[in-house]
Amino acid sequence: MPRTEEQFEQIRKEKKELIRQTALELFAEYGYHGTSISQIAKKASISKGLTYNYYESKSNILQDIISNGFEVFFGNIDLNHDGVLSDEEFFAFIRKSFEIVKRNPRYWKLFYSLMLQPVVAESLMDSYAEQTKPIMEMMFQYIVNKGSADPEGDLIAINSMLEGAMMYAVLTPDMFPIDVMIEKIINTIKRILETNKASKS
């Protein structure tokens, strides 16, 4: 019996996920420039030609890995899609982000190892800025709505704390247990916003 269009699409998704996961492992181990399409195809046990059916180049695989990572995280913000963050949405986003890391620590350790490679960070700077811009704008407006006297400074402080905490949770989980960090991060953010609101009045 011939496969349906839905079955073909499912196979395509599974193959792309296999290539993406395999490439991530190799990029993290050998570096982006130290990994070839041939190596990715061999480790994934598919032909090089078939790999090119799914991705035009190694650069496309890298972009897909990073975009997928961003989507997994930032898909948990603004759940009602109204462009405005409530307290519930913002803190649920933080909790969900840490839970995602907790469920698959190996994947995110590889992801951050890849992101920390200078050549990768430099090549994706513009793409990162573009993808995160609407998220940063929503976070900024949330901080403004909370009555912050210094929304720009608070955004920098909160975003830096979140990114740093996430990286520590991924790379050194024994020193920075996720379950402990979640509430400490949330409480610190609340304290930052309350302190700045109080100093404004």
What gap in Å lies between CA 125 and CA 123, rounded to an integer? 6
Q: Write out the two tokens for 49.
A: 């030609």
The answer on pLDDT for 74 being more than 90 is no
At 104 the three-state DSSP class reads: coil
Identical fold for domains 1-56 and 62-200, yes or no, is no
Q: In whole angstroms, what is the distance from residue 128 CA to residue 63 CA?
A: 10
Cβ pair 101, 43 in contact under 8 A = no
Tell which residue, 35, 49, 44, 38, has the closest CA to residue 14: 44
In the chain, where are the structural domains located?
1-56, 62-200
Q: Mean pLDDT throughout 183-192?
A: 92
Indicate the DSSP class of residue 2: P
pLDDT reading at 200 higher than 50: no
CATH of domain 1-56: 1.10.10.60
More confident site: 43 or 128: 43
Most confident of 32-41, 172-181, 188-197: 32-41
**CA angle, 68 as apex, 66 and 72 as ends, to 5°?**
120
199 contacts 149 by C-beta, under 8 angstroms: yes
Please report, for residues 35, 45, 46, the alpha-carbon distance to residue 70 in angstroms, rounded to integers and kept in the order given: 23, 27, 27
**HEC assignment per residue over 36-62:** CHHHHHHHHCCCHHHHHHHCCCHHHHH
Task: Kindly state the average pLDDT of the residues 161-180.
Answer: 86
Distance set, CA 1 to CA 6, 9, 10, 13, 14 (Å)? 14, 16, 17, 21, 21
User: Which DSSP category does 173 fall into?
Assistant: T
Segment 17-27, tens digit of pLDDT: 999 999 999 99
As its CATH architecture, domain 62-200 has Orthogonal Bundle (1.10)
